[in-house]
């Protein structure tokens, strides 16, 4: 059990560029979550997967955001045409498949849009 892994740890991009982040959950965790956190705030829910199915998306997830988990293992979060307001920490978490289990988070990807 190596924990939740996120890549890259830091990303600086110019406004208008596309970026993609990757999350590798704890093996055998079939739930995977994406959150966004801005300075001084708690993490805000973006979306979650049960295996490969995306079961819920927040209204925060505009049309420029897309997430996938094609084989029910790792997940990617893509942001198209980045804006300065997208600058934040993007956190991934995973848990087992029932509602009572502990969620484990990765170290996050810090995105800076310049």
Partner 1 sequence: KQEVTQIPAALSVPEGENLVLNCSFTDSAIYNLQWFRQDPGKGLTSLLLIQSSQREQTSGRLNASLDKSSGRSTLYIAASQPGDSATYLCAVRGGATNKLIFGTGTLLAVQP
Give the residue with the Cβ less far from partner 1, 25 or 106. 106
Cα 27 from chain centre: 17
Q: Counting contacts by CB under 8 A, is residue 91 touching partner 1?
A: yes
- Name which position in 19, 30, 36, 48 contacts partner 1 (CB under 8 A): 48
Q: Is 108 in the site for partner 1 (CB under 8 A)?
A: yes
Our CB check for partner 1 shows the closer of 63 and 102 to be: 102
Pick the closer one to partner 1 by CB: 44 or 68: 44
Please, are residues 75 and 49 in contact by the beta-carbon 8 Å criterion? yes
Q: Euclidean distance between the first and final Cα of the chain, in Å?
A: 36
Dihedral angle sign, alpha carbons of residues 59, 60, 66, 67: negative
Q: Residue 88: is it exposed, middle or buried by C-beta count within 10 angstroms (0-12/13-18/19+)?
A: buried
Q: Which residues of this chain interact with partner 1, rule CB under 8 A?
A: 4, 6, 31, 33, 35, 40-45, 48, 55-56, 89, 91, 93, 99-100, 102-108, 110
């Amino acid at each position: 059990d190596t924990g939740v892994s996120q890549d890259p740890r830091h990303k600086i991009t110019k406004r208008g560029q596309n970026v993609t982040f990757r999350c590798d959950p704890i093996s055998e965790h079939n739930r995977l979550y994406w959150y966004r956190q801005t300075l001084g705030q708690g993490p805000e829910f973006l979306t979650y997967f049960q295996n490969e199915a995306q079961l819920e998306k927040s209204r925060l997830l505009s049309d420029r955001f897309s997430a996938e988990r094609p084989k029910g293992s790792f997940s990617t979060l893509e942001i198209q045409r980045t804006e300065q307001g997208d600058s934040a920490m993007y956190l991934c978490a995973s848990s087992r498949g029932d509602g009572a289990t502990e969620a484990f988070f990765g170290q996050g990807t810090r995105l800076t849009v310049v």
